[in-house]
Chain A
Amino acid sequence: QQPVQSPQAVILREGEDAVINCSSSKALYSVHWYRQKHGEAPVFLMILLKGGEQKGHDKISASFNGKKQQSSLYLTASQLSYSGTYFCGTGGVRNSGGSNYKLTFGKGTLLTVNP
Chain B
Amino acid sequence: DTEVTQTPKHLVMGMTNKKSLKCEQHMGHRAMYWYKQKAKKPPELMFVYSYEKLSINESVPSRFSPECPNSSLLNLHLHALQPEDSALYLCASSQDGQGYNEQFFGPGTRLTVL
Contact = CB atoms under 8 A, between A and B. Distances in A.
A98 to B, nearest CB: 7
A98 B56 CA distance: 11
Contacts, number: 71
Most chain-B Cβ atoms within 10 A of its Cβ — which of A30, A55, A102, A107? A102
Interface of B is mostly: loop
B99 A29 contact: yes
A101 B102 CA distance: 12
Contacts of B53: 99
A86 to B, nearest CB: 11
Interface string B50-64: 110101101000000
A42 B90 contact: yes
B103 A32 contact: yes
Nearest to A33: B102
Interface in A23-63: 29-30, 32, 34, 40-44, 47, 49, 53, 55-56
Contact residues on A (Cβ < 8 Å of other chain), bracket: 20 to 34
Contacts of B103: 32, 44, 103
Contact of A41 (B42, B50, B51, B105): B105
Contact of A102 (B4, B42, B48, B100): B48
B113 interface: no
B31 interface: yes
Kindly list the 4 A-B residue pairs having the minimum CB-CB distance in the complex, ordered from nearest: A99-B50, A99-B97, A105-B42, A41-B105
Interface of B: 4, 31, 40-45, 48, 50-51, 53, 55-56, 58, 90, 96-108
Given A40-B107, A41-B108, A102-B45, 19 more contacts: A29-B99, A42-B43, A44-B104, A87-B42, A94-B98, A98-B97, A99-B31, A99-B50, A99-B97, A100-B56, A100-B97, A101-B97, A101-B98, A101-B99, A102-B48, A102-B56, A106-B42, A107-B41, A108-B42
Interface of A: 29-30, 32, 34, 40-44, 47, 49, 53, 55-56, 87, 91, 94-95, 98-108
